Amino acid sequence: DPVRYISNHSSGKMGYALAAAARDAGAEVVLISGPVAIPAPSGVEVRNVTTAADMLQASSEAVDAGCDLFIASAAVADYRPQSCEADKIKKTSEQMALPLVRNPDTLATIAARADAPFTVGFAAETTDVARYAIDKMQRKKLRMIVANDVSVPGLGFNSDNNAVTVFWPDGQASIGPDSKQRIADRLMVLIGDHLDQAAG
Ligand code: PMT
């Protein structure tokens, strides 16, 4: 309704650090961002979105325009409320049920394109991190996936630090715990090596 929404703990820090790392590596960067409270890195083109559908549209347009590498670190909601009320919902019964419907999956949609760029996903997990991340990489047809255990206090959502394990079809590498910026810088080197290999 006009005064309430469903969200999560994502601050955008990991994604913004990746955008800065890609810029520093010499890339032309388009940063597609949901609402956050941190400044965007300088020298990158920012497209602001608020819904999962907007994120898919902005991402599709960026890939249409030409893109070698697509990294998805946003914590996009898997479901959204079926309807949005024009006026504030009033308190009535002791319980209420809010029907949710599936959101489009930007990452899977981009990776499924015939002209897909080298596509890297993230996996935010709380248990069986490696198993779920590898399953996501295979299901969504990704070249690499960056897994983080978001149940560890002080890491992951909203913190300045993280620890990740990157998986690709025949290997893996762990980075951190470290600052999100240093992790992003090291991720960019690793992803760049794989991108170069894929380009032959
Ligand atoms: O923003 P910070 O506070 O810095 O926190 C960083 C982070 C914890 C959000 C980040 O490191 C991270 O893990 N990002 C991915 C969060 C997530 O939504 O993971 P997932 O396992 O639910 O989704 C898997 C992948 O599908 C992700 O690449 C996600 O961007 C993508 N996805 C998910 C749902 C959806 N509707 N569309 C998508 O594209």
What separation in Å is there between the alpha carbon of 97 and the centre of ligand 1?
26
Angle between the N-to-C axes of helices 13-24 and 180-199, in degrees from 0 to 180, rounded to the nearest 10: 50
State yes or no: is 8 an active-site residue: yes
Dist CA 19 CA 9 (whole Å): 20
What separation in Å is there between the alpha carbon of 114 and the centre of ligand 1?
23
**CA of 36, closest atom in ligand 1:** 1
Task: Supply the pLDDT for residue 142.
Answer: 98
CA 172 and chain centroid, separation? 19
Q: Are the C-beta atoms of 59 and 52 separated by less than 8 Å?
A: no
| 184 SS3 class | helix
Residue-wise over 33-69: b if at least 16 C-beta within 10 A, else e? bbeeeeebbeebeeeebeebeebbbbbeebbeeebeb
Q: Cα dist. 88→11, 51, 84, 97, 112 in Å?
A: 26, 20, 10, 16, 39
Token output for 74: 């946003």
What is the value of pTM for the model shown? 0.97
Q: Hey, which of 101, 107, 161 would you mutate to test ligand 1's pocket, going by the most ligand atoms within 8 Å of its Cβ?
A: 107
**CA of 52, closest atom in ligand 1:** 36
Q: 95: which residues sit within 8 A by CB, 6+ positions away?
A: none
CB-ligand 1 contact for 72 (6 Å cutoff): yes
Task: Supply the pLDDT for residue 200.
Answer: 81
**CA of 12, closest atom in ligand 1:** 1
Mean pLDDT, 10 residues at a time, the chain of 200 residues: 92 98 98 97 98 97 98 97 95 94 98 98 97 98 97 94 98 98 98 92
CB-ligand 1 contact for 14 (6 Å cutoff): yes
Q: Scan for tokens 């601050």, then name that residue.
A: 11
List domains and CATH numbers for the chain.
Answer: 13-199 (3.40.50.10300)
Task: Supply the pLDDT for residue 91.
Answer: 93
Q: From atom 16 of ligand 1, which residue's Cα is the shortest distance away?
A: 75
Task: Supply the pLDDT for residue 150.
Answer: 95
Task: Supply the pLDDT for residue 199.
Answer: 87
Q: Scan for tokens 């079926």, then name that residue.
A: 82
Q: 129: which residues sit within 8 A by CB, 6+ positions away?
A: 123, 147, 148, 149, 165
Single-letter residue type at 136: K
